[in-house]
Amino acid sequence: MCLERKVMDKNIEKMIAVVPSERQLKWQELEFYGFLHYGLNTYLEIEWGDGSAALDILNPSDMDVEQWIVSMKAAEMKGIVMFCKHHDGFCLWDTKTTSYNIMNTPYGKDLLKEVADACVKYDMKLGLYLSPWDRSHPAYGTESYNDVFIQQLDEILTGYGKVFCVWFDGACGEGKNGKKQRYDWERYYAFIREKQPEAVISVAGPDVRWCGNEAGWHRAQEWSVVPAKLMSAECVAELSQQEDTEEFRAKQVNSTMEDLGSRKALEGAGPLAWYPCEVDTSIRPGWFYMEHDDNRIRPLDELLDIYLNTVGANANLILNVPPCREGYFKKNDVKRLNEIGCFIRDTFSYNLAEDAIIQADSCAEDGLVEAVRSQNMDGYWKAAAGKETAELEFMFSSEKTIDYCMLMEDIRQSQRIEKFRILYRTEGAWEEIFEGTAVGHKKICRFEPVKTDAVKVVIDESRSCPTLRFAGFYYGYYVPEVKTRSR
Ligand code: FUL
């Protein structure tokens, strides 16, 4: 028994020693941002172009880049990931690496520059998507394509201001010469570190883990400490889209991948890494604009459910909205973005526990319970040394109706909480209203509304000395209901 305990302690020490880098911490704070799929595919209404589309088809009559950015900001997104080049190899910026680019279309303007300027104007962070798979560049499939790709990275990373992420797609197929490319990932990564040291490299990269599906599906427990072997780009490529089908986009992750980071999953898993999850999905059935999808915008409840189970369950959410052929977001997409933003603002603006009396059953010397009133990173609460469980009590100034609780761990000290409950006081007794597992950066707990003057957060299991950076309680008059998924 004693020996077992010692082995466990060693394992736990190893798990909690894994913490985020500065760039991962900053990325995690963004929580929710947009994706933009636009290009020649938009005009052909296809998802994957093969590089043969004529450039003169890209001729938007009412290009309105600012509308994209403003609409995404209204949804409470903190940034956007601009689509620079998809698998067809068509470049949306003024590049010297190929003539297959936006400057040679009737539109004739550098779209990345326009998006970057709008991001500065509206205080939105800019991320860049660049597909390594390129179906039109003649060098693809040869070593010199790696030089071309580095030059493309150089152009987009030096000419358009600061970027928060470089998003590498896992899809990897043949070029027009039938050859497959051996990507020099290490060279790409080192180059990005040199040019934009604060940017995370996402998906086929070492900083941000792809959730494993494109449907908005999420795990029951999302852990940021996972086996380091998941970081290999080859591993991402194997799981990625191999052909262009709606089935793939709707497919949920395979069940063997459901548990990546529980204690059990990590025991004997070899080296561990901080590799946090991002969920990517689209507001429509496809990534690119298709007119016949104008009335197939995903229902609000479904999108809110995805938001609550990603941003509210230790994952960042990147939601794609495709501009139409004329160059703007259609009104149904804009309406949905507004509704998402209204929900987030209405529900989470006012923390009902802000003026509560807060007590914890133990506190580490440097972890003061008062810190959990605010989401800022100045302080945190931490249980006393040697403690694996804890109880925090919130006594409200008067009776409140609540149906949401938001918890945030201080992930600078790793992810520690494994099991917790929320209880509320009713007629002098404590009743349980929620039971949860992993918390991580943020956990949003939903439950039936209760009227109460006091609540408790009880941490039943943790990887020793649990922490909280924030604990808030809310009343949201609108509670999304989800029955079926449309994708
Ligand atoms: C996938 C691509 O194949 C899709 O077309 C889309 O760009 C999505 C974000 O990533 O791997």
Q: What does the alpha-carbon distance between residue 458 and residue 349 come to, in Å, rounded to a whole number?
A: 24
Phi then psi for residue 107, to 5 deg, are -65, -50
Ligand 1 atom 10: the closest Cα is on which residue?
169
pLDDT at 242: 64
pLDDT band for position 366 (cuts 50, 70, 90)? confident
8-state DSSP, 34: E
Residues in Cβ contact with 244 at an 8 Å cutoff, skipping those fewer than 6 apart: 46, 47, 48
Q: What does the alpha-carbon distance between residue 325 and residue 41 come to, in Å, rounded to a whole number?
A: 10
Q: What's the whole-number average pLDDT of the chain?
A: 93
What are the angstrom distances between the C-alpha of 109 and each of 117, 125, 428?
13, 21, 67
- Check if the beta carbon of residue 407 is closer than 8 Å to that of residue 439: yes
Residue 136 CB: number of other CB atoms within 10 A?
Answer: 20
pLDDT at 2: 44
Q: Token pair for residue 59?
A: 């001729």
Residue 158 CB: number of other CB atoms within 10 A?
Answer: 10
Rounded to the nearest angstrom, the distance between the alpha carbon of 135 and the centre of ligand 1 is 14
Rounded to the nearest angstrom, the distance between the alpha carbon of 194 and the centre of ligand 1 is 26
Q: Which residue has the higher pLDDT, 224 or 479?
A: 224
pLDDT at 122: 98
Atom of ligand 1 nearest to the CA of 170: 11
- CA angle (199, 205, 207) in 5-degree steps: 55
Q: Token pair for residue 472?
A: 């808030």
Q: Token pair for residue 328?
A: 């703007």
Residues having CB closer than 6 A to ligand 1 are 47, 169-171, 240-241, 280, 287
Q: What does the alpha-carbon distance between residue 239 and residue 169 come to, in Å, rounded to a whole number?
A: 11
Rounded to the nearest angstrom, the distance between the alpha carbon of 196 and the centre of ligand 1 is 24
Rounded to the nearest angstrom, the distance between the alpha carbon of 237 and the centre of ligand 1 is 11
Atom of ligand 1 nearest to the CA of 35: 9
Atom of ligand 1 nearest to the CA of 287: 6
Rounded to the nearest angstrom, the distance between the alpha carbon of 481 and the centre of ligand 1 is 29
From 35, 81, 241, 249, the mutation candidate for ligand 1 (largest count of ligand atoms within 8 A of CB) is 241
Rounded to the nearest angstrom, the distance between the alpha carbon of 330 and the centre of ligand 1 is 21
Rounded to the nearest angstrom, the distance between the alpha carbon of 408 and the centre of ligand 1 is 31
pTM score, two decimals?
A: 0.95
278 strand-pairing partners: 210, 316
Rounded to the nearest angstrom, the distance between the alpha carbon of 214 and the centre of ligand 1 is 8
Q: Token pair for residue 291?
A: 């007119």
Rounded to the nearest angstrom, the distance between the alpha carbon of 145 and the centre of ligand 1 is 21
Q: Token pair for residue 371?
A: 């810190």
What are the angstrom distances between the C-alpha of 70 and each of 78, 305, 308, 325?
11, 23, 22, 19
Atom of ligand 1 nearest to the CA of 280: 9
pLDDT at 4: 45
From 214, 239, 283, the mutation candidate for ligand 1 (largest count of ligand atoms within 8 A of CB) is 214
Ligand 1 atom 6: the closest Cα is on which residue?
287
One-letter amino acid of 271: P
pLDDT at 240: 66
Rounded to the nearest angstrom, the distance between the alpha carbon of 332 and the centre of ligand 1 is 23
pLDDT of 255 > 50? The answer is: no
Per DSSP, the three-state class of 79 is strand
Q: Token pair for residue 64?
A: 């309105």
From 129, 287, 318, the mutation candidate for ligand 1 (largest count of ligand atoms within 8 A of CB) is 287
Dump the DSSP string for 232-298: -HHHHHHHS-SS--HHHHHPPPPGGGS-SSSHHHHTT--SEEE--EEEEEESSSSSS--GGGTT-PP
Atom of ligand 1 nearest to the CA of 240: 11
Q: What does the alpha-carbon distance between residue 487 and residue 484 come to, in Å, rounded to a whole number?
A: 9
pLDDT at 256: 53
Q: What does the alpha-carbon distance between residue 34 and residue 316 come to, in Å, rounded to a whole number?
A: 11
Q: What is the pLDDT of residues 402-416, one digit of tens each?
A: 999 999 999 999 999
Per DSSP, the three-state class of 392 is strand
In this predicted structure, which of 161-165, 248-252, 275-279, 419-423 has the lowest mean pLDDT? Answer: 248-252
Residues in Cβ contact with 247 at an 8 Å cutoff, skipping those fewer than 6 apart: none
Mean pLDDT of 122-134: 97
- Check if the beta carbon of residue 251 is closer than 8 Å to that of residue 290: no
Phi then psi for residue 333, to 5 deg, are -70, -40
pLDDT of 386 > 90? The answer is: yes
pLDDT at 214: 87
Over pLDDT 70: what percentage of the chain? 93
8-state DSSP, 132: S
Q: What does the alpha-carbon distance between residue 317 and residue 31 come to, in Å, rounded to a whole number?
A: 6
Per DSSP, the three-state class of 340 is helix
Residue 378 CB: number of other CB atoms within 10 A?
Answer: 7
pLDDT band for position 377 (cuts 50, 70, 90)? confident
First and final C-alpha spacing in the chain: 49
From 40, 169, 211, the mutation candidate for ligand 1 (largest count of ligand atoms within 8 A of CB) is 169
What are the angstrom distances between the C-alpha of 130 and each of 182, 225, 242, 427, 428?
16, 27, 17, 58, 58
Ligand 1 atom 4: the closest Cα is on which residue?
287
For residues 102, 106, 107, 109, the Cα torsion angle rounded to the nearest 10 degrees is: 50
Rounded to the nearest angstrom, the distance between the alpha carbon of 280 and the centre of ligand 1 is 9
Q: Which residue has the higher pLDDT, 113 or 259?
A: 113
Rounded to the nearest angstrom, the distance between the alpha carbon of 213 and the centre of ligand 1 is 11
Rounded to the nearest angstrom, the distance between the alpha carbon of 169 and the centre of ligand 1 is 6
Atom of ligand 1 nearest to the CA of 320: 9
Q: What is the pLDDT of residues 61-107, one digit of tens each?
A: 999 999 999 999 999 999 999 999 999 999 999 999 999 999 999 99
Rounded to the nearest angstrom, the distance between the alpha carbon of 127 and the centre of ligand 1 is 15
